[in-house]
Structure 1
């Protein structure tokens, strides 16, 4: 029996990481929307699936809503500022995954 292997991805962390890794080199689509973070996410997921060859891949996204953590700890992630303007339109990517 073949063992199953799950690749679990923190999508939002990967999106931010990809954005900042490529920030000085904006990639912009034909509508003028930055796509460098999305491109980075796709390339990283492709590299991870090639390296680990999972049978299943799950990408989890932080949807930015209030959770039990903010109810229990009002200062949870309170020190974080707004995301860069060039990253905000790329959040739509997670809705189409």
Structure 2
């Protein structure tokens, strides 16, 4: 994820700068339901979209920093993100 500049902080648009990767996210161009499957539902389609997304790492970083508990973020499910966090910590 791009670092937030001091100017962005002073102008109050740090959140917009920090989330600018979302404009390039492929998920924004597809069915959002694929990224939030019902319990036991398939994550295959969402992960397929994530695999070719240019901002996958920024998305995953956002989900980890914000403790996103639902959906596919950066190509990982909530369970996969939890496992990743445990390995890193």
TM-score by length of 2: 0.27
Query: Which one has the bigger helix percentage?
Result: 2
Larger RCO (CA under 8 A, 6+ residues apart): 1
Query: Which one has the bigger strand percentage?
Result: 1
Q: Return the index of the structure with the highest Cα Rg.
A: 1
